[in-house]
Homo-oligomer: A and B are copies of this chain.
């Protein structure tokens, strides 16, 4: 099948080698698109097929991939997303992270489905893509600038205020291992340190402008689906009104909210950093991603005691928890300032908050002292300390240079048993949800190929209790709700399917916050591409993605032993609702083994069987 891909896709990959300044286009055909879909699927494919084993994540042989999907840039709610991947400098594994906003849609409108960046530029450059044409431009004058200055300067010098820019700030330039890549200033491809990979390549930004929407197979059906979302505001009302962070009280009540590095269950100040508190104090409006009526993104502004620039948006739940409660901080303005700094410097707020919480616990236990911390009293609850440390991390100064290595490496360097305070899996700091509450989430943290990301495990409570998310679980064959703390084989099977469904979402690339169920996602793909597809076909593609990611990790030296959770989760919290409840280590091992089996991987080693590899055609 060599024909051009019919709908949703442009059929074009842009390959940019920064070492020799070569830029080329490659076509992709329908079979390729149907097998790998896009987004995370494209990333897993190219990393698995093209990356030499054992490359330095921060060396020129790593590749940085920006991948849109068939749905990106189509006028549908949730379609303003793309995915960024590379071998992670944080985990050494396959890595990918989705991000919303407008940049991905603009890339599609400019004629490309994905960009593969190779090599390393001699001097800082940025990539400029306009309606199918791409060129590299000098970025020496942008180096050192934060993301807002970068975006503004590029728009000014190219003379188009509608150019969309994805870029790194000092965090990425300084190779902070958890540096993210920011687009539209408010939107972060947060996890896994792709910002450091971008920095290592001397690539400051990618600016995009496009005027051509990708052709869709059934524009009427696309309109109908859009209208269905508009006609069902009850399905996204909470997100529309408050954005993420509206569930803070529930998260405290269930024990899900991480408090003081996952130590505690009690934190009265948590309600001060909720989305409701933001609405009632510092919020000036809500904003949307491309084509989305949900408008879940907070915009905040205040001038006292710090000045916060509304251009950088407001903190999401993960940020409120990571920089807030997980550091014992209930000062909303401080947390919001921390969010702004991370966005300006291109630091992942989750990893930043988590590594600071880790450092605070080390400090309180005497493993770090003021001698190590540039004199900062790095205690839980110290908001000023948190803000100072973010600055230091971005500049890699003093204690910041240590923490810029990420929690796992910092713990190793500190030694003295610091590992037991290091809350990560495979080196990726945990999302802000406690697996002691959601058993399947814990399994997801453990087995996820890119580490303890919450994004692919969002439905964990959903399929445990009837409700909107359970609908999708039922479509996938999970007929009865199971308790959230259950981790038996039925839960593992449900986890596997829901996990794969989330990978489908990541491949398309669609926003996981939209209320599309498995049938609707298939419906969307059919409307966009004209393929008569089904949830089964899409799950098969997701299985391919996950198995390629697994194979990549094994080639990089990871094994089943790396599919683990921090020791802390096998103990209860110090106080609060989870003070008597903890994760069962043996049950996790059994669950891992059954998950491997269901994936067609060896039950013990987690290595995909030769038969499965052949079946999925990914040799």
Binding site for B on A (CB under 8 A): 31, 34-35, 471, 474-477, 479-480, 488-490, 492-493, 497, 517-519, 522, 532-537, 539-541, 594, 597-598, 600, 609, 611-612, 614-615, 617
Contacts and interface: CB of A to CB of B under 8 A. Distances in A.
B534 A476 contact: yes
Contact of A539 (B34, B471, B477): B477
A15 B31 CA distance: 52
- Is chain A's binding surface mostly helix, strand, loop or mixed? helix
B536 A497 contact: yes
A480 B532 contact: no
Contacts of A533: 474-475
B537 A536 contact: no
A609 B600 CA distance: 14
A598 B598 CA distance: 8
20 contacts: A31-B480, A471-B532, A474-B537, A475-B533, A475-B536, A475-B537, A476-B534, A476-B540, A477-B539, A488-B614, A489-B615, A490-B614, A490-B615, A493-B615, A519-B522, A534-B534, A594-B611, A597-B600, A597-B609, A597-B611
Contacts of A518: 534, 536
Contacts of A594: 611
Closest 6 CB pairs of A and B: A477-B540, A475-B534, A489-B615, A477-B537, A489-B611, A493-B615
B536 A535 contact: yes
A243 to B, nearest CB: 28
Given A34-B479, A490-B615, A522-B534, 6 more contacts: A474-B537, A476-B540, A477-B537, A488-B614, A519-B532, A536-B536
Nearest to A612: B489
Contacts of A522: 519, 534
Contacts of A477: 536-537, 539-541
B534 A519 contact: yes
Contacts of A534: 475-476, 518-519, 522, 534-535
A578 to B, nearest CB: 27
Nearest to A30: B479
A348 to B, nearest CB: 34
Contacts of A471: 532
A339 to B, nearest CB: 38
A519 B535 CA distance: 9
B31 A479 contact: yes
Nearest to A540: B477
Nearest to A35: B479
Query: Which residue, A492, A532, A539, has most C-beta atoms of chain B within 10 A?
Result: A532
Nearest to A1: B480
Contacts of A474: 532-533, 537
Nearest to A613: B489
A218 to B, nearest CB: 15
Nearest to A501: B536
A477 B534 CA distance: 8
A521 B517 CA distance: 18
Contacts of A488: 614
A476 B536 contact: yes
Contacts of A612: 489
Contacts of A34: 479
A306 B488 CA distance: 65
Contacts of A532: 471, 474-475, 517, 519
Contacts of A492: 615
A275 B28 CA distance: 46
Query: Which residue, A477, A497, A541, A597, has most C-beta atoms of chain B within 10 A?
Result: A477
A5 to B, nearest CB: 14
A608 to B, nearest CB: 12
Nearest to A476: B536
Query: Which residue, A534, A539, A612, has most C-beta atoms of chain B within 10 A?
Result: A534
A480 B29 CA distance: 13
Query: Which residue, A488, A492, A493, A497, has most C-beta atoms of chain B within 10 A?
Result: A493
A559 to B, nearest CB: 22
